[in-house]
């Protein structure tokens, strides 16, 4: 998911919900924000007082009263959100297992169909933002199954619940204010602002702060609709990547072979060398051949940190890591993009 701040995101480990569903929303999350025992009306005094404070702060920021009536009038404290936040587990899946769960043949096939079906749109987006279509489609497929699994909870209720909880209240209160700003700008109606339990929204799973920075009104209708407008959603994803430093003349990286006795101190994204330098150190392509003679700098990483398959990664890999700070995620996006693109 494209979050402006993801300090708790995992680097090199898989989140089970992502591994099983390809969506930033939890696999255990309900399909629709229906009233259940896990959702309680905003009736207790503490939560009501909290909402009153949110309303007062929002009005000070210039958000209209009618927006706040619509957004906060039916807010629920969602107990399930707290449960999911508390038990975000780390799974020690091997990279090959993770990759196999995400990059299935069915997802590759569907990605190729989506690439073909949206070729004209994606080419226009590439022309404007310089992001190759296969990467946009790969992110779209991993995040929400090409727009099918965008989450089932009220974003405002989820963010209010997390902001009230206290564990990361400052961050989520800011995101709640951002969500109210989006509603006040008229991009989406409050009942339709649906997303994951943590507040990630739409076909590209943007947090509200990311939406405000990078979302795009591709069709010029005055609304940035990343929920149901495919052009807006895919252009917003491309704008995010471009804004975070994407290079349209480069790929993400490549699988490599390391020589016997390779100095492990050279591993990691902090060590950058030219392809010529890596060649001199004995790094070879996955086929055993020398690396290409291109004016590129890259870093050698192991998929599982200190073990696993080796990859030589470029600046675009670092940009994908800004989208989701997981080595597994970034490598998988690159691999899926290559498969979708016919590599």
Residue ranges per domain, the chain? 16-89+149-243, 253-340
More confident residue, 36 or 286: 286
Structure tokens at 276: 């010529």
The reported pLDDT for the residue numbered 91 is 60
The reported pLDDT for the residue numbered 89 is 56
Quick check: 219 and 232 in contact, CB under 8 A? yes
More confident residue, 85 or 116: 116
pLDDT exceeds cutoff 50 at 27: no
The whole-angstrom separation of Cα 84 and Cα 8 is: 14
The reported pLDDT for the residue numbered 169 is 93
The whole-angstrom separation of Cα 249 and Cα 329 is: 22
Structure tokens at 109: 């096939």
The CATH number given to 16-89+149-243 is 1.10.8.350
The reported pLDDT for the residue numbered 44 is 65
The reported pLDDT for the residue numbered 166 is 79
Residue 88: pLDDT band by 50, 70, 90 thresholds?
low
Residue 263: pLDDT band by 50, 70, 90 thresholds?
very high
The reported pLDDT for the residue numbered 42 is 47
Tens of pLDDT, residues 217-227: 999 999 999 99
Query: Which residues are CB-contacts of 234 (< 8 A; sequence separation ≥ 6)?
Result: 118, 121, 122, 125, 136, 140, 203, 204, 218
The whole-angstrom separation of Cα 333 and Cα 202 is: 18
The CATH number given to 253-340 is 1.10.530.10
């Amino acid at each position: 998911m494209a979050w402006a701040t993801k300090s708790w995101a995992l680097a090199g480990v898989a989140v089970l919900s992502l591994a099983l569903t390809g969506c930033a929303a939890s696999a255990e999350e309900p399909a629709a924000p229906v009233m259940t025992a896990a959702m309680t009306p905003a009736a207790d005094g503490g939560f009501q007082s909290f909402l009153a404070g949110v309303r007062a702060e929002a009005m000070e920021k210039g958000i209209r009263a009618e927006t706040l009536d619509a957004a906060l009038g039916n807010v629920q404290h969602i107990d399930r959100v707290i449960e999911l936040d508390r038990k975000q587990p780390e799974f020690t899946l091997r990279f090959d297992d993770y990759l196999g769960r995400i990059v299935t043949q069915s997802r590759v096939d569907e990605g190729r169909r989506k690439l073909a079906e949206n070729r004209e749109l994606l080419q226009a987006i590439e022309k404007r933002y310089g992001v190759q279509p296969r990467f946009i489609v790969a992110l779209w497929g991993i995040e929400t199954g090409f727009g099918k699994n965008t989450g089932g909870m009220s974003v405002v209720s989820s963010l209010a619940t997390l902001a009230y909880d206290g564990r990361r209240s400052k961050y989520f209160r800011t995101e709640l204010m951002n969500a109210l700003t989006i509603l006040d700008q008229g991009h989406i109606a409050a009942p339709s602002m649906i997303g994951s339990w943590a507040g990630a929204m739409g076909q590209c799973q943007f947090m509200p702060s990311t939406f405000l920075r990078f979302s795009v009104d591709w069709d010029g209708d005055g609304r940035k609709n990343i929920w149901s407008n495919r052009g807006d959603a895919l252009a917003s994803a491309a704008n995010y990547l471009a804004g975070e430093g994407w290079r349209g003349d480069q790929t993400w990286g490549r699988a490599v072979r390391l020589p016997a006795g390779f100095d492990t101190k050279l591993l990691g994204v902090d060590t950058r060398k030219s392809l010529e330098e890596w060649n001199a150190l004995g790094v070879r392509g996955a086929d055993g051949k020398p690396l290409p003679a291109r004016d590129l700098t890259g870093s050698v990483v192991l998929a599982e940190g200190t073990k696993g398959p080796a990859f030589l990664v470029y600046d675009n890999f670092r940009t994908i890591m800004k989208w989701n700070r997981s080595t597994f995620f970034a490598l998988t996006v690159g691999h899926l993009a290559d498969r979708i693109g016919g590599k």
